[in-house]
Structure 1
Amino acid sequence: MARALSRWEGEGGAQGMQGKQDGTNLLANPERQVLEWLGAALVIEWNDLPTDVQRAIFRHAAAVKDSYDPIQLKARIARFLHDHKDDVEGS
């Protein structure tokens, strides 16, 4: 999981989100870290989730505030999930 999180951060994951006007900049570091680990765990388990759950999570993740381009964000999320579809905890 640590490697998946490291790759995610290397691609602009948590760092790319900091300072946005969606409330994430209001989170304390421990809270942000919990969300980062939850996100990494979700990516690891993504392929094992039922399709309806995947769609619901994707829909919630892509429900954005005015500070994001929703089409671009959906594309980034989809590309990230596709690129990491074979990630497993042991890799």
Structure 2
Amino acid sequence: MSGESAANALDRWDEDGGAAATVWPLPYETGDLLDVERRVLECLGAALVSEWNGLPTDLQRRLFEHAALGASRDTAQLKVRIARFLHDHKDASDSR
């Protein structure tokens, strides 16, 4: 998929309804996490990314919205970064 068609697909995804745009506050400040807690979140995140393509689309969208609205002041920029990361790592689970 070209960069332009990926961007168009992301725009359509944003505009098709999906999850309601509500702020999903984290139950903690990320700076307050212990190193071991950070490592747990890294492992959970890596596991999620490795299984992303196998998740139902509605679950992918809910998780994407929750992640993008979690702790960012610039939700649009974070959505782009998350989408780009998922796109760049989409084949990671296929190589296992």
The answer to whether structure 1 residue 31 and structure 2 residue 37 are counterparts is: yes
Distance 2:38 2:51 in 1: 20
Give the counterpart of 2:89 among 75, 84, 88.
84
Counterparts of 1:90 and 1:80, CA distance in 2: 17
Aligned match for 2:47, one of 41, 50, 53: 41
Percent identity between the two aligned chains: 61
User: 1:37-66, CA deviations, whole angstroms, 9 ceiling, x for partnerless residues?
Assistant: 00000000000000010000001001144x
The answer (yes or no) to whether the contact 2:50–2:92 under 8 Å persists in 1 is yes
Match of 1:59 in 2: 65
RMSD of aligned residue pairs (Cα, Å): 1.8
Q: Is the 8 A contact 2:53 2:93 kept in 1?
A: no
Distance, in Å, in 1 between the alignment partners of 2:46 and 2:94 is 10
Aligned to 2:12: none
Return 5+ residue gaps in structure 1 as ranges. 1-21
Structure 1 residue ranges, 4+ long, deviating more than 3 angstroms after superposition: none
Task: Tell me the number of residue pairs that the alignment of Structure 1 and Structure 2 aligns.
Answer: 69
Structure 2: gaps (5+ residues)? 1-27
Measure the CA separation in 1 of the matches of 2:73 and 2:56.
28
TM-score by length of structure 2 reads 0.65
